[in-house]
Amino acid sequence: EDQVTQSPEALRLQEGESSSLNCSYTVSGLRGLFWYRQDPGKGPEFLFTLYSAGEEKEKERLKATLTKKESFLHITAPKPEDSATYLCAAFTYGQNFVFGPGTRLSVLP
Amino acid sequence: DGGITQSPKYLFRKEGQNVTLSCEQNLNHDAMYWYRQDPGQGLRLIYYSQIVNDFQKGDIAEGYSVSREKKESFPLTVTSAQKNPTAFYLCASTQTGGSYEQYFGPGTRLTVT
């Protein structure tokens, strides 16, 4: 069964304190690994797609990386406005998106 | 502006009533999806459609129905058979054959009492 897990469930950081979020996946065939940001009461906002192991993508303070079993979202010198839930999803050759439960990030000023 | 619209943002219904949630996209995407999100849980797939007049059940389709008569529209009906319908419902779309980036609407929060 295809499965995506995320850790930690929740993370509190001080402003400027860098950290990483983990997304582990077990799927029959990975076509792409997606990262989203979701603010409370809103739809997820697309951040990155990674297609192959070793690939990296960056956007402002965020950098996503991919291995054959997991993906990391690195947050460098976060600001309070980075507070949100971060979701990852595996897109499979079965044309399905399998979502993880998310990591709830709080960045304190 | 291109995007996905969902209406209404908040919806309240009495138990036993069917309710239809609207989803419209002007991104010219082929595939459309409906997800349900409950607190502390990941998105769970209800139904998806990769082409007009065709759709497939997702993991939790029981108590829900959909139609895809137009490429731009993918309404979801929550029927009285759905045991626990109170949730946040998200519609999404994807352009197949390309990057498969999936974009989401703003969501509809349904409360059934």
Q: Which of residues 83-102 of B touch A (CB under 8 A)?
A: 88, 90, 92, 96, 99-102
pLDDT band (50, 70, 90) for residue B1? low
| Residue of A8, A17, A56 lying closest to A35 (CA atoms) | A56
pLDDT at A66 over 90: yes
Of all residues in chain A, the one with the smallest CA distance to B58 is A96
CB within 8 Å: B99 and A49: yes
How wide is the angle at C-alpha B82 spanned by C-alphas B30 and A6, nearest 5°? 65
Q: Report, as an integer, the average pLDDT of B93-101.
A: 82
- pLDDT for A96 equals 82
The pLDDT tens digits for A76-100 are 999 999 999 999 999 988 778 999 9
pLDDT band (50, 70, 90) for residue A58? very high
**Chain A residues with beta carbon closer than 8 angstroms to that of B4:** 43
Answer yes or no: are the C-beta atoms of B60 and B41 closer than 8 Å. Answer: no
Count other C-beta atoms under 10 Å from residue B49's C-beta: 20
In whole angstroms, what is the distance from residue B33 CA to residue A25 CA? 21
Q: Which of residues 24-83 of B touch A (CB under 8 A)?
A: 31, 33, 35, 40-45, 50
